[in-house]
């Protein structure tokens, strides 16, 4: 499968072939040579069949029209198994104007492509030690290094304290998009009395419950946890297709959200859930109001989330992403922003078209919200991540590129490794900045996880947004901040050392879902296959290569997440070439594989020229102005603009008005 590893074996193979020839010549004299050659012929035909089926036949993606030399093809052989064995029959209405909530019927030939509860795509076949589900081991048969040890040796305390030219807003927006395209749920084992089984507390559970196989032992000399007698991290494996009554081989993982960039974190990925978020009046989404009259996602009382998480209060919000919408203050702020934006547009449309039904107002507003998110992703966000030039030559700036042969699914390599590189931009703190550009206070992100009750107090939402815009971000780097690397999800009122290590989790999650090691993915991306550790020197610093050598037995064992974090960044990008390749592949799929993408023409869902023109004027700045009391926004929304040095360079929110007249009297038949 991996041609370069074969290439390195060329010499011995030739020798073998020479000796075989002599053996074959002897065989010619053998009376049964006819049978032998018959069998050989059959074998050759079979091999040819396998080769054609699995290797030569390109992924049904990328037609000649859109394909270019930077694009990669999935060479996994299992991606169609779900379609063959488990995909439900779905009836689609090809003239429907609005995308379905669960993402089905986007592709009319393969209606489940990109839908909620369908598998992540694999770019390379899964890698499990038993070929099916057991965690990967090293090529020499020994256990892989503990992910916590990998973190300690390579990344912890290696922080670069230089600030970025990008601001903190890149973080919550990036996380919003991550949750739009990916939702991997945990398989939490329960005991007979319904309690969560913790593999750290109960060592037997590690044998009884496969879900507990991922428990991470912290080393006895752990620089942080050992001081507090914490020797174990009780992590769980992810839900598999088996949990969805689809027993695929090898183990396959399911995306709980729609794969498309379709604001599923705002509206939900499930029809009933989406209905429950709606007010059913004026096209609006349900909301709660704070003491000072501001709009927030509906407050929920006494919601029992994760048993392992202690709560300071019961304030929580009902969002389209019940799993993650409350995870930290940043993401909850984004959820709030987009709830408000939806209701703002619904209100605008209702004043233009007072006779529109709730349904039309909801769907048209949703369509506009999705379009603006897609625009921000491709215009502002992605160029920062993969670099403007690369984005251009990859073809990601081309418009109207829908291609029904492209599978829009999120790849496992994308969501469980490449995009997670951006966990390194998580800062220690969020700042709350007031109208006078003064930081009123700061909070540690890790102290307030799953506890977003600060948000509706006073003008905190506005100050937090201002903080995102005005605080320089943390540089992408091969090290997560010290708090998220040790104290994530630390329990309130207990010493803060009970927390988790996000980097350890990211490494082990890659093993959980069976990602191939770095070397193979790097090679898929067109980079030279490393024959030994030293070959990594093209992209990885020699001091890190030395550490890799101490940790791993072979260069073919290095975890994907680890290699991606260590790679030198590509020109103009904030990630290295392998991460860039996987990320670009993902965003290409979300655009070229989405029939409802906002700039697609000639579909029942297409915007009119006038509407498209207007959509193209909506920036993230506009969204922020429309939904908050922030009064100035920078043109380049993710960049730091020093207010004291350039006091007039920002746009004033009250000069920012967009009208929706292009939607006026749009009384044509709307098919749902």
Residue 258 interacts, among ligand HEM, Ca ion, none and using kind-specific CB cut-offs from 5 to 8 Å, with Ca ion
What's the CA gap between 520 and 531, in Å, rounded? Answer: 11
Nearest-approach distance from CB 260 to Ca ion, in angstroms: 5
Q: Is 183 in the site for ligand HEM (CB under 6 A)?
A: yes
What's the CA gap between 246 and 240, in Å, rounded? Answer: 9
Residue 264 interacts, among Ca ion, ligand HEM, none and using kind-specific CB cut-offs from 5 to 8 Å, with Ca ion
Q: Which of 75, 150, 152, 178 binds ligand HEM (CB under 6 A)?
A: 178
Q: Is 445 in the site for ligand HEM (CB under 6 A)?
A: yes
Decide: helix, strand or coil at residue 598. Answer: coil
The pairing of strands 632-633 and 651-652 is antiparallel
Nearest-approach distance from CB 323 to ligand HEM, in angstroms: 8
Residue 261-300 contact track with Ca ion, rule CB under 5 A, x = bound: -x-x------------------------------------
Instruction: Tell whether the torsion through CA atoms of 505, 511, 514 and 517 is positive or negative.
Output: positive
Nearest-approach distance from CB 517 to ligand HEM, in angstroms: 18
Residue 174 interacts, among Ca ion, ligand HEM, none and using kind-specific CB cut-offs from 5 to 8 Å, with ligand HEM
Q: Which of 107, 415, 431, 519 binds ligand HEM (CB under 6 A)?
A: 415
Burial (Cβ within 10 Å: 0-12, 13-18, ≥19) of residue 609: exposed
Q: Which of 86, 144, 184, 368 binds ligand HEM (CB under 6 A)?
A: 184
Tell the residue number behind the tokens 């919601």, with chain if given.
303
What's the CA gap between 22 and 69, in Å, rounded? Answer: 43
What are the residues facing 429 on neighbouring strands? 444
Give the range of 28-36, 179-187, 524-532, 591-599 binding ligand HEM by CB under 6 A: 179-187
Burial (Cβ within 10 Å: 0-12, 13-18, ≥19) of residue 263: buried
Q: Is 332 in the site for ligand HEM (CB under 6 A)?
A: no
Residue 183 interacts, among ligand HEM, Ca ion, none and using kind-specific CB cut-offs from 5 to 8 Å, with ligand HEM
Q: Which residues of 629-665 are buried (b: 16+ CB within 10 A; e: fewer)?
A: ebebbbebbbbbbebeeeeeebbebeebeeebebbee
What's the CA gap between 514 and 512, in Å, rounded? Answer: 6
312-331: contacts with ligand HEM (CB under 6 A): 328, 330
Q: Which of 505, 540, 551, 640 binds ligand HEM (CB under 6 A)?
A: 505
Report the Cα–Cα distance between both ends of the chain, in Å, rounded: 46
Residue 423 interacts, among ligand HEM, Ca ion, none and using kind-specific CB cut-offs from 5 to 8 Å, with ligand HEM
Nearest-approach distance from CB 461 to Ca ion, in angstroms: 24
Residue 132-151 contact track with ligand HEM, rule CB under 6 A, x = bound: --------------------
Q: Which of 116, 348, 509, 523 binds ligand HEM (CB under 6 A)?
A: 509
201-260: contacts with Ca ion (CB under 5 A): 257-258, 260
Give the range of 134-142, 284-292, 420-428, 529-537 binding ligand HEM by CB under 6 A: 420-428
What's the CA gap between 199 and 211, in Å, rounded? Answer: 9
Q: Is 377 in the site for ligand HEM (CB under 6 A)?
A: no
Q: Is 171 in the site for ligand HEM (CB under 6 A)?
A: yes
Dihedral angle computed from the Cα positions of residues 521, 377, 644 and 646, in that order, rounded to the nearest 10 degrees: 110
Closer of 274 and 505 to ligand HEM (Cβ): 505
Residue 252 is encoded by which pair of tokens? 């396959």
- Are the CB atoms for 190 and 206 separated by under 8 Å? no
Nearest-approach distance from CB 184 to ligand HEM, in angstroms: 4
Closer of 377 and 625 to Ca ion (Cβ): 377
Nearest-approach distance from CB 469 to ligand HEM, in angstroms: 16
Give the range of 97-105, 176-184, 306-314, 349-357 binding ligand HEM by CB under 6 A: 176-184
Give the range of 100-108, 160-168, 170-178, 628-636 binding ligand HEM by CB under 6 A: 170-178
Residue 184 interacts, among ligand HEM, Ca ion, none and using kind-specific CB cut-offs from 5 to 8 Å, with ligand HEM
Q: Is 486 in the site for ligand HEM (CB under 6 A)?
A: no
Contacts of 303 (CB under 8 A, 6+ apart): 314, 316
What's the CA gap between 384 and 168, in Å, rounded? Answer: 13
Nearest-approach distance from CB 415 to ligand HEM, in angstroms: 4
What's the CA gap between 200 and 206, in Å, rounded? Answer: 8
Q: Give the H or E element holding residue 165.
A: strand 163-167
DSSP per residue, 47-114: HHHHHIIIIIS--S---TTT--TT------S-TTHHHHHTPPP----TT-SS--TT-TTSSSSSTTTT
Q: Is the peptide bond before 464 cis (omega within 30 degrees of 0)?
A: no
What's the CA gap between 63 and 467, in Å, rounded? Answer: 44
Q: Is 121 in the site for ligand HEM (CB under 6 A)?
A: no
Give the range of 177-185, 261-269, 336-344, 516-524 binding ligand HEM by CB under 6 A: 177-185
Q: Is 199 in the site for ligand HEM (CB under 6 A)?
A: no
Residue 415 interacts, among Ca ion, ligand HEM, none and using kind-specific CB cut-offs from 5 to 8 Å, with ligand HEM
Nearest-approach distance from CB 258 to Ca ion, in angstroms: 4
Q: Which of 215, 401, 426, 551 binds ligand HEM (CB under 6 A)?
A: 426
* Number of chain residues interacting with ligand HEM (CB under 6 A): 19
175-194: contacts with Ca ion (CB under 5 A): 180
Nearest-approach distance from CB 116 to Ca ion, in angstroms: 8
Closer of 258 and 407 to Ca ion (Cβ): 258
Establish whether 259 is an annotated binding residue. no
Q: Is 419 in the site for ligand HEM (CB under 6 A)?
A: yes
- Are the CB atoms for 181 and 590 separated by under 8 Å? yes
Q: To 5 degrees, how large is the angle CA 22–CA 23–CA 26?
A: 90
What's the CA gap between 341 and 508, in Å, rounded? Answer: 37
Closer of 374 and 556 to ligand HEM (Cβ): 374
* DSSP, res 237: P
Considering only CA atoms, which of 505, 529, 327, 325 is closest in space to residue 417? 505
Residue 189 is encoded by which pair of tokens? 């084992």
Enumerate binding residues for Ca ion (CB under 5 A): 180, 257-258, 260, 262, 264
Enumerate binding residues for ligand HEM (CB under 6 A): 171, 174-175, 178, 182-184, 328, 330, 415, 419-420, 422-423, 426, 445, 502, 505, 509
Binding residues: 423
Binding residues for heme b: 423
């Amino acid at each position: 499968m991996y041609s370069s590893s074969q290439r390195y074996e060329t010499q011995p193979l030739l020798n073998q072939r020479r000796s075989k020839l002599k053996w074959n010549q002897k065989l010619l004299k053998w009376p049964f040579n006819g049978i032998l050659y018959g069998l050989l012929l059959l074998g050759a035909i079979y091999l040819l069949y396998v080769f054609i089926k699995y290797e030569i036949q390109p992924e049904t993606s990328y037609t000649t029209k859109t394909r270019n030399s930077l694009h990669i093809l999935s060479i996994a052989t299992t991606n169609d198994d779900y379609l063959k064995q488990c995909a439900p029959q779905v009836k689609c209405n090809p003239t429907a104007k609005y995308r379905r909530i669960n993402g089905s019927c986007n592709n009319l030939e393969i209606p489940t492509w990109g839908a909620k509860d369908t598998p992540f795509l694999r770019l390379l076949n899964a890698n499990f030690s038993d070929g099916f589900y057991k965690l990967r081991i090293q090529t020499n048969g020994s256990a892989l290094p503990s992910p916590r040890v990998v973190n300690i040796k390579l990344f912890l305390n290696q922080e670069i304290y230089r600030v970025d030219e990008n601001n903190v807003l890149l973080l919550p927006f990036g996380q919003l998009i991550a949750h739009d395209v990916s939702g991997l749920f945990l398989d939490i084992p329960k005991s007979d009395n319904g309690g969560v089984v913790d593999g750290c507390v109960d060592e037997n559970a590690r044998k009884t419950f496969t879900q507990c196989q991922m428990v991470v032992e912290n080393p006895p000399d752990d620089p942080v946890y050992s001081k507090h007698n914490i020797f174990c991290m009780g992590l769980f494996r992810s839900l598999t297709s088996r949990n969805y009554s689809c027993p695929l081989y090898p183990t396959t993982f399911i995306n709980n959200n729609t794969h498309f960039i379709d604001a599923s974190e705002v509206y939900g990925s499930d029809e009933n859930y989406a209905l429950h978020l709606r007010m059913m009046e004026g096209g609006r989404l349900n909301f709660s109001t704070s003491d000072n009259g501001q709009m927030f996602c509906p407050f929920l009382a006494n919601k029992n989330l994760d048993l392992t998480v202690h709560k300071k209060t019961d304030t929580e919000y009902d969002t389209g992403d019940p799993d993650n919408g409350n995870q930290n203050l940043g993401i909850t702020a984004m959820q709030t922003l987009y709830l408000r934006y939806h209701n703002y547009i619904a209100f605008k449309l209702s004043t233009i078209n007072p006779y529109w039904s709730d349904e039309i107002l909801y769907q048209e507003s949703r369509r506009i919200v999705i379009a603006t998110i897609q625009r921000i992703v491709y215009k502002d966000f992605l160029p920062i991540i993969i670099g403007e030039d690369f984005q251009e030559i990859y073809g990601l700036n081309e418009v109207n590129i829908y291609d029904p042969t492209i599978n829009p699914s999120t790849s496992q390599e994308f969501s469980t490794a490449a995009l997670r590189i951006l966990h390194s931009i998580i800062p220690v703190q969020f700042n709350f900045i007031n109208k006078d550009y003064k930081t009123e206070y700061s909070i540690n992100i890790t102290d307030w996880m799953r506890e977003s009750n600060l948000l509706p107090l006073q003008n905190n939402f506005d100050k937090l947004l201002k903080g995102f815009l005005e605080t320089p971000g943390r540089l992408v780097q091969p090290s997560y901040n010290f708090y998220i690397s040790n104290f994530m999800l630390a329990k309130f009122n207990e010493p803060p050392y009970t927390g988790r290590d996000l980097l350890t989790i990211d490494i082990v999650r890659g093993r959980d879902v069976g990602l191939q090691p770095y070397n193979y993915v790097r090679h898929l991306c067109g980079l030279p296959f490393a024959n030994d550790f030293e070959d990594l020197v093209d992209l990885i610093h020699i001091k890190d290569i030395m550490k890799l050598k101490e940790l791993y037995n072979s260069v073919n064992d290095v975890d994907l997440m680890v290699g991606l974090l260590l790679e030198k960044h590509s020109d103009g990008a904030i990630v290295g070439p392998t991460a860039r390749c996987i990320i670009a592949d993902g965003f290409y799929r979300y655009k070229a594989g989405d029939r409802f993408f906002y700039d697609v023409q000639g579909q029942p869902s297409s915007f009119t020229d006038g509407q498209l023109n207007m959509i193209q004027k909506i920036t993230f700045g506009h969204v922020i102005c429309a939904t908050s009391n922030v009064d100035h926004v920078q043109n380049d929304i993710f960049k730091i603009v020093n207010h004291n040095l350039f006091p007039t360079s920002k746009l004033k929110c009250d000069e920012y008005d967009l009208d929706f007249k292009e939607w006026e009297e749009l009384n044509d038949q709307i098919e749902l």
